[in-house]
Amino acid sequence: MRTRTPAVVLSAFAVWALLVCPLLGRIARAQTGNAEIDRGIGLYNDLEYEKAAEALANALAGSAALTKQEATEGYKVLGLSYVALGREEQAKQAFKKLLAANPAYELPSTESPKALDLFEQVRATLPKTGAGAVQLTQAASPVRPGKGSPITVSIALVDDGLKTKGVVVYHRVRGQKGYSSVTAAPGPGSGRFNAIISGTFVNPPAIEYYVIATDAGGQALDAEGSAEEPMVLGVDQEAGAATPIYGKWWFWTAVGGVLVAGAITAIALSGDDGGGGDATVNITVTYPTP
């Protein structure tokens, strides 16, 4: 005797297949052992792409030595977050760092076609591995600077052939035509460089920048970003400097409350029947630590 599967069951299965299955491949693992990276992955899984990108960029830039798993999972999800936000150049830079840490890595085929396409574009542009290959990676901090706040660009360089003679960061405020430049100085550790974009050049709406490693003749050996497709850091309108104490709302609230209390005390003392002389009122202002 043949049995028929109820239509409602088939409908439920169809909905699951159409809506749930495509999302399963986009749920990232959050088991790297690095609390900050795992927090960023969790935000990505919660569809908080902006927060995930910020958390992961900070976590990855702040880690002096990443394990292979941390770098693979962290940069993968950072790249996917940028894809979801429509920031293709930043997504490609994240995928480039992923492949630098794990050259044999393959992005799962269940990811979005856009992510897969960008990932393969990056793989195609990477130099062939082997003696003499130059690979440059960079990270900017903070990832969301305030107006007038300096930006530190930390650069890591793999150059077994010692071909690199200079590392330069080119930058501009979005909307400007030309780029300014700053030469990176050697940092602590082999192959490490740091460049600081002065706060004078940091203004809204955003900073665009790219990094190039050059040989003795000024020819580019490797780069992250380009003049045509720079990396982008959004800049907040408010300056990054701390607000002075007299600019805090609670300061004037506290002062106002003390002045009212002082006035009441003075009125009460002025009604003293015994003296008629002058009265001294001591007022102490106590405010919380900023």
In the prediction, which pLDDT does 248 show?
A: 44
Last residue of a domain, one of 62, 92, 126: 126
* The pLDDT of residue 266: 42
Structural domain range at position 275: 248-290
pTM for this structure?
Answer: 0.54
Question: Is 91 in the same domain as 184?
Answer: no
CB atoms within 10 A of CB 182: 16
Read off the CATH number of the domain in which 207 is found. 2.60.40.10
- Is 146 within the bounds of a domain? yes
Residue 1 domain-assigned? no
pLDDT value of position 129: 53
HEC string of the chain equals: CCCCCCHHHHHHHHHHHHHHHHHHCCCCCCCCCCHHHHHHHHHHHCCCHHHHHHHHHHHHHCCCCCCHHHHHHHHHHHHHHHHHHCCHHHHHHHHHHHHHHCCCCCCCCCCCHHHHHHHHHHHHHCCCCCCCCEEEEEEEECCCCEECCCEEEEEEEEECCCCCCEEEEEEEECCCCCCEEEECEECCCCCEEEEEECHHHCCCCEEEEEEEEECCCCCEEEEECCCCCCEEEECEEEECCCCCHHHCHHHHHHHHHHHHHHHHHHHHHHCCCCCCCCCCCCCCCCCCCC
pLDDT values of the chain reduced to their tens digit, one per residue, 290 residues: 555 555 444 454 444 444 444 444 456 665 678 889 999 999 999 999 999 999 998 888 765 578 888 889 999 999 999 999 999 988 998 998 898 888 888 999 999 999 999 999 998 887 655 555 778 888 888 888 999 999 999 988 888 778 899 999 999 999 999 999 999 999 877 788 999 999 999 999 999 999 999 998 888 888 888 898 888 888 998 875 444 444 444 444 444 444 444 444 444 444 445 445 554 545 454 444 44
Overall number of domains in the chain? 3
pLDDT value at position 244? Answer: 45
- DSSP bridge pairs for 147: 239
Mark whether 203 and 270 lie in a shared domain: no
